[in-house]
Amino acid sequence: MIIAVDFDGTIVEHEYPRIGAPVPFAIETLLRLQRDGHVLILWTVREGDLLQEAIDYCTSKGLTFYAANKNHPEEDRSKAARKLTSDLFIDDRNVGGLPDWGVIYNAVKAAERGEYSFDQIMMSAGENQQRKRKKNFFIRLGEMFERDGY
C-alpha cells in the first residue's frame, strides 16, 4: 500500500512550527510498515525549511520517506496536481482523532489479509477508544441525537 503520513500531531505532538515531542510508537510503527513493504509518503502542511526539519527529524530516527508532499521524489509540484495518490492517509485530523499506533498497524495488516476492510477495523477501534477517552464535541452531539430520537 501507499500510505501518506502527516507529521505534526501524528508523528510528533503539535508544536508547529517547532517540532513537538514524539508521539509514542509512531516512528517504530512506520518503520515496521516499511519493513512490511509499504511505501510511505510524508504529507504535511510544512514546506521549505520547516519541511526539511521534519524530514531530518525522521531521518535521524531511521525513517526515510519515499517522497515528501508529492507522489514521487522527482515530481515537480508546480506542475503536478495537489491531490496525493495514496491508499491510506494517517493523520491526527481524521474524524475521531488519531487512533493508537498499535491499532493503526493491526488495521493495516488485517486489511492486507482481506479479513476486514480498513474502515471496519478503524470504526471498531474508534468505538473502543471512545469508551476510554474524554468525550469530544462530536461524541456528545451523537449521544444527544440518539437520546432525543433524531
Element (H, E) at 99: none
Four-CA torsion 73, 75, 44, 23, nearest 10 degrees: -20
Nearest-CA neighbor of 8 among 51, 48, 39? 51
| pLDDT value, residue 144 | 64
Q: List the CATH number of the domain containing 85.
A: 3.40.50.1000
| pLDDT value, residue 31 | 98
Return d(Cα 30, Cα 59) in angstroms, integer.
Answer: 12
State which residues form the domain around 93.
Answer: 2-148
**pTM, whole model, 2 decimals?**
0.76
pLDDT in tens, the chain (150 residues): 999 999 999 999 999 999 999 999 999 999 999 999 999 999 999 999 999 999 999 999 999 999 999 988 888 877 767 778 888 899 998 877 888 898 889 888 887 887 766 666 666 655 555 544 445 555 666 666 677 665
Return d(Cα 15, Cα 17) in angstroms, integer.
Answer: 6
Contacts of 149 (CB under 8 A, 6+ apart): none
Return d(Cα 63, Cα 60) in angstroms, integer.
Answer: 7
| pLDDT value, residue 133 | 47
Count of domains observed in the chain: 1
